Amino acid sequence: METTEIYREWLTAGALSEEEKAELAAIASDPAEIEERFYRELEFGTAGLRGVIRQGTNGMNRHVVRRATQGLADYMNGIPGAAAKGVVIAYDSRRFSDVFAKEAACVLAANGIRVRLFSTLHSVPQLSYAVRHQGCEAGIVITASHNPAKYNGYKVYWAYGGQCTPAQADEIYKEIQKVPFFTAKSVCYDAAVADGSIGLIGAEEDAAYYEVTKSVLNRPELLKEKGGSLPIVYTPLHGAGNVPVNAILKEIGITNVYTVPEQQLPDGNFPTVKAPNPEDPDAFTLATKLAEEKGATVILATDPDSDRLGISVKTHAGDWVVLTGNQIGCILLNHIITERKAAGTLPENALVVKSIVSTTLADAICEKNGVKLENVLTGFRFISEKIDECERTKESSYLFGFEESFGFLAGGFSRDKDAVCSAMLAAEACIVYAERGMTLYDALQEIYATYGIYKEKVSSYTLEGKAGMEKIKGCMQALRDKPFTELGGVAVAVSEDYAARLRKRACGCTEEISLPKSDMLRYVLEDGSWLVVRPSGTEPKLKLYTGANAPDEATLDALLARLFNAAETRIKAELA
């Protein structure tokens, strides 16, 4: 069906409200906008749905949410016992998140599936934990993570607490595609709550999550004694982190916490930032001002669904430095290993898991401490699967996992990146290092002195819309047709194509890659430097990752610049 026909079908659909019809009527004379909204359906993958909030098949709206949920319900009703186990639903502070959550709950209830809906906005890690704690078959969270305000999304979790697998996502998507728009079953929300088919959860679930999360602390006695000695500034960036982060910090004895007042309350428009992203130094502007007023040397920031943690630290020169996700991951990793070794509680079969695009400094830390490390594909679901594997086989004891994109998880009680737990551990690390007269910035320098200097650089190339997607695909194909043989004057020793699952060495020999299939290219250079190119799984972006290590910082900076510039020049040429 042509996009104009689909547009007219939506414009005249009885299911649309007058406001929704008016939105579509306003683009009647804009064929490019009609094409953009209706040329495709939002695809359902391992990250669920994500798109711009707007009417149309290529947007996040209640009709897309209803249809997706009907498909999920049909999939679940084909699994014996799944409906009785049910689904737990959470939502963040984004525009329409609460509306979409209630729409999903009503569709599930209409299909005879038990529903447990958080009564207020909650974080992703709390949803992930609740799936297992509530004994549910699946979970849904309405969020677009750290994307700009115009986005929202719909993520599906499975019984093990992590996001659904690619095979499950494919099966769910098949069911979704069978559902014509505007045909999803639904019930009245208030009536469903009244008769118990939609159950509301909150305080008791929060208490259980806090209690199990506190079990990963390394120095609880020190925190009770000295937790109020160090001022810490925190910002939830208008998201879901305000309540859980402040609650858990208070419970463990971190009492000298100042929350940025302008960013404390939930607001899906995120009025004080360009994007609610703790990776962005600009997101720390208000927090830095407050930190200077309060004499703090560390700032913690969480994104809207509170799965990502950012940290800014003050140097002895008085400058503020926003740490990278790799640096935060290594500080937390080193803190956990050091404290567990000192206490004699580090398991002999301890396992650390990180994404393959994250720093190799973690490899050096683990190797020197006798801890096993495994690399997985990008996407925290793969770390979640490793946690589940540890629990089932008992062959390894999961200790910590992280991604360079500011996602960290200790303990594995949640099965997704957990900024609430990570903020707690970061605050603990602050107190522990303060006992030695050090800040987290000092801790990072100590890590470099012990394990070597490592740096990484990540760049994203945003290409929105249909034309953008085609350019990204074209660039990846061009890189496959003519692979890099050298970068910055250093020869490529190993090239890996994860779509073909093939590794090729400079000698010409090839071998199969054991990790799952993925649209990603990776190169390892003769000096150990590395490069990865991949399309984002959740945003209209092509991503470039580079990493290297060297004996001194000047040499490392020059090497990384040559490597990155050579790669970027080629990529920009292919995208032009």
Burial 49-87 (b: 16+ CB within 10 A, else e): bbbbbbbbbbbbbbbbbbbbbbbbbbbbeeeeebbebbb
C-alpha 389/C-alpha 394 separation (Å) is 8
Q: Are strands 372-376 and 350-355 parallel, antiparallel or unpaired?
A: parallel
Give catalytic status of residue 145 as yes or no: yes
- 369: amino acid identity, one letter: N
3-state helix, strand, coil in the chain (%, to 5): 40, 20, 35
Q: How far apart are CA 481 and CA 574, in angstroms?
A: 12
* CA atoms of 545 and 459, how far apart (whole Å): 7
Written as six digits, the tokens of 135 are: 């004994």
Is the CB of residue 409 less than 8 Å from the CB of residue 402? Answer: yes
- Quote the CA–CA distance of 308 and 180 in Å, as a whole number: 36
Hunting for tokens 């996009």 — which residue is that? 3
- β-bridge mates for residue 410, sequence order: 400
Of the residues 97, 123, 145, 384, only one is catalytic, namely 145
3-state secondary structure of 492: strand
Which strand ranges, in their side-by-side order, compose the sheet holding 115-118? 49-52, 151-158, 138-142, 87-91, 115-118, 198-201
**Rounded to whole angstroms, how far apart are CA atoms 283 and 235?**
9
* Rg of the chain, C-alpha, whole Å: 24
Residue 400 dihedral angles phi and psi, to the nearest 5°:
-165, 150
Residues 435, 429: Cα–Cα separation, whole Å: 10
Q: Are strands 87-91 and 115-118 parallel, antiparallel or unpaired?
A: parallel
The DSSP letter of residue 371 is -
CA distances from 389 to 262, 398, 517 (A): 42, 9, 19
Q: Which of 295, 380, 285 is nearest to 46 (CA)?
A: 380
- 317 contacts: CB under 8 Å, gap ≥ 6: none
Note the residue count of the chain.
576
Active site residues: 145
